[in-house]
Structure 1
């Protein structure tokens, strides 16, 4: 098993640039640190430093080890900070990762019940690419991931996907574009300027099939990973864009866009991904129960 004290000595030497400086910072004899790093190198089976003149330089193995050490000690600092916060506060820490393909308004609707319950919850919410969030749920950096797809089995990540419901997909556009392309929908979309989500979104796959089934070939003007940016281009009249039908009122108010029609048969689905098969975190339970109640209603 890796000796973390030895790893810490290596990390301090790599940051300080020499054994002597690290020894002074740690108030230890240089020989002690040198011996501990030597033992670590034996355990890892690789040299971590090489001499360059009077100084030390990291080897390729040292560079790799340093990158892991940076992450390990960063996680350690986060652990200490979180435990101190929990000891000093009655708030329940709730760390959520939201996939960047999930519309902000949908994320809010799904997460709002966590803050509306009786428990005092402190929400820490961050947005990122889905593959990175899957890695973070595996390493317990987040309690929950909000995504537009379940956790793929092929990743080998231990986690469970809990359905939060679905919503129909619709097409929106400025008043001028809507007046032009609404009559004869959906055939009117053939050749129409279209803004679509990027290939990291499950919506793009559904749209491709839907267009093919209806023998429609729109003119793709742009692809966007960020749904808010896509709507901003739509607001400027650049093209027609798809969005969850449940947001129709909000889209009309914020972006001045009118619903042209629904893409019948396409559903956008959302999932809460956790390491628990049986949910126990009070904030996660509140989200799951609210989603079930809305779907049943």
Structure 2
């Protein structure tokens, strides 16, 4: 199998999302017969059934589930590409950045100031959330980039990677009188407030 008809795949994608041939036909302004013919052609090409009957509707087969996962990524990305291209024609390039809530706003501002070229037609939007939530949105292509306090595990996050852009020190502060022991033994003399385990610094 060297190639596939992407029109057939597109019609299958709509049938899966709509849950029926009739629903897909209405969404695409086509006849149900046309949609059915396209699905059959794709099934012949893939040598397997993509749907099975369930009452008056359709239920995806195991092959259908597999094909949909890839088709959904393909057509979601293609729509995202068109949105970006069309947006760029009309206005500045839109770039969405996720910012981990553990980071200093001054630090994030410095990073973005260094990254954005002066007079470049770009519209920058920032969204603050937890590292885990930002990773989920990044994997769904809802964000273009995230700035966080911990790296991405590429073995667990397929298609994502991280780059270290800097580091900063951690300071310890206390009230008078100063501890008698040297650091870090002096930490045993005082109660210590540390970041939670949800943050990389407190893990």
TM-score (norm 2): 0.68
Which residue does the alignment assign to 1:132? 135
Listed as ranges, the matches of 1:18-33 within 5 Å are 18-33=20-35
- The CA deviation string for residues 98-131 of structure 1, in whole angstroms up to 9 with x for no partner, is 4565444422221134457233431133454399
Match of 2:175 among 173, 176, 179: 179
**Corresponding residue pairs, total:** 195
Higher strand share: 1
Do the aligned residues in 2 keep the contact of 1:6 with 1:36 (CA within 8 Å)? yes
1:80 counterpart SS class: helix
Q: CA deviation at 1:46?
A: 4.2
Runs of 5+ consecutive residues of structure 1 not aligned to the other structure: 173-177, 205-222, 224-297
Q: CA deviation at 1:88?
A: 1.2
2:152 & 2:125 partners in 1: Cα distance?
21
1:189 counterpart SS class: helix
2:48 & 2:103 partners in 1: Cα distance?
44
Do the aligned residues in 1 keep the contact of 2:102 with 2:199 (CA within 8 Å)? yes
CA RMSD of aligned residues (A): 4.0
Which residue does the alignment assign to 1:189? 187
Does the C-alpha gap of structure 1 residues 198 and 19 become closer, same or farther in structure 2, counting only changes over 3 Å? same
Does the C-alpha gap of structure 1 residues 105 and 60 become closer, same or farther in structure 2, counting only changes over 3 Å? farther
Q: CA deviation at 1:86?
A: 0.6
TM-score (norm 1): 0.50
